[in-house]
């Protein structure tokens, strides 16, 4: 694995640390490629339940490496988007643990995750317009779905910062932490999720993500196609048996 991305495992959770502190963890092609490979591994391995993305040295990600951009390199992977992630997130759950700044593509990385934990002094922003660019890695399409319309519009048009506390008040951030504790709180949240049935978690995410575009007239039919196999699974029987026997379930993901 590239040294620009540190990968460690803890209790079934894959910890992904963006590791370019000299550039405030700005994304380059090498880091994007490493992140794409790591999320593929997350989905492929049955022993990994979810992933957490954080940044080294107190900053999440400052966005695209503009110096590399000026040399003709962009940190996108075809079919996968910025950071190898924004257009094709993994099937399994991803949590963003944000310290310091999540700016431009860094904010878009966080938006591509399923949950966001942030230090209470962290800041988010889409400053692309200040550089004559646009937030084309998901910021312009995801943010209006997560924030009130006019708040999202202000973020995109002014390029100004959005504090973690304000983001939490709008529901964009799931949990706030003390400075320096975002990763620890994200791991606590991840552990709660990882204790649940893997099939149920994956299917729940799939329904929530895909149902945004489902027509009302047949949304339950579309949902049943995804959820019926879960009810017929060995994990569903194990969950019921564990409840009746007052023990922790032993999931097989089948």
Nearest-CA neighbor of 28 among 90, 70, 76, 81? 76
Sign of the alpha-carbon dihedral angle for 163, 96, 158, 24: positive
Q: Of 128, 154, 188, 210, which one is the catalytic site residue?
A: 128
The DSSP secondary structure of 26-43, one letter per residue, reads -B-HHHHHHHHHHHHHHH
**Cα separation, 31 vs 41, whole angstroms:** 15
Number of helices and strands (H, E) in the chain? 10, 11
Spatial distance between the Cα atoms of 40 and 11, rounded to a whole number of angstroms? 19
Count the Cβ atoms, other than its own, within 10 Å of residue 100: 22
Distances in Å between the alpha carbon of 52 and those of 3, 38, 102, 182? Answer: 17, 11, 15, 11
Buried b (16+ CB within 10 A) or exposed e, 172-184: bbbbbbeeebbbe
Whether 108 sits among the annotated catalytic residues: the reply is yes
In DSSP terms, which residues pair with 55 in a beta bridge? 18
| Of 46, 108, 154, 188, catalytic | 108
**Known catalytic membership, residue 128:** yes
- State the Cα–Cα distance between residues 13 and 6, nearest whole angstrom: 14
Read off the tokens for 146. 């997560």
Residues involved in catalysis: 108, 128
């Amino acid at each position: 694995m590239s040294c620009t991305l540190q990968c460690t495992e803890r209790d079934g959770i894959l910890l992904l640390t963006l590791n370019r502190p000299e550039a405030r963890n700005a994304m380059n092609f090498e880091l994007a490629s490493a992140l794409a490979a790591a999320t593929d591994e997350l989905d492929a391995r049955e022993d990994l339940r979810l992933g957490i993305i954080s940044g080294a040295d107190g900053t999440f990600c400052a966005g695209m490496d503009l110096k590399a951009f000026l040399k003709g390199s962009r940190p996108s992977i075809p079919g996968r988007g910025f950071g190898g992630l924004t257009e094709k997130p993994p099937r399994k759950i991803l949590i963003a643990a944000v310290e310091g700044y999540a700016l431009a593509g860094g904010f878009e990385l966080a938006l591509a995750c399923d949950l966001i934990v942030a230090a209470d002094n962290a800041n988010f922003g889409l400053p692309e317009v200040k550089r004559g660019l646009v937030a084309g890695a998901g910021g312009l399409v995801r943010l209006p779905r997560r924030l009130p319309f006019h708040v999202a519009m202000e973020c995109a048009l002014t390029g100004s910062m959005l504090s973690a506390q304000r983001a939490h008040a709008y529901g964009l951030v799931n949990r706030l932490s003390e400075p320096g504790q975002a990763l620890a709180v994200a791991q606590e949240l991840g552990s709660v999720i990882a204790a649940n049935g893997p099939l149920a978690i994956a299917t729940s995410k799939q329904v929530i993500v895909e149902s945004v575009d489902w027509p009302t007239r047949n949304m339950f039919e579309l949902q049943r196609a995804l959820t019926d196999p879960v009810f017929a699974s060995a994990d569903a029987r194990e969950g019921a048996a564990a409840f009746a026997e007052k023990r922790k379930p032993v999931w097989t993901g089948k």
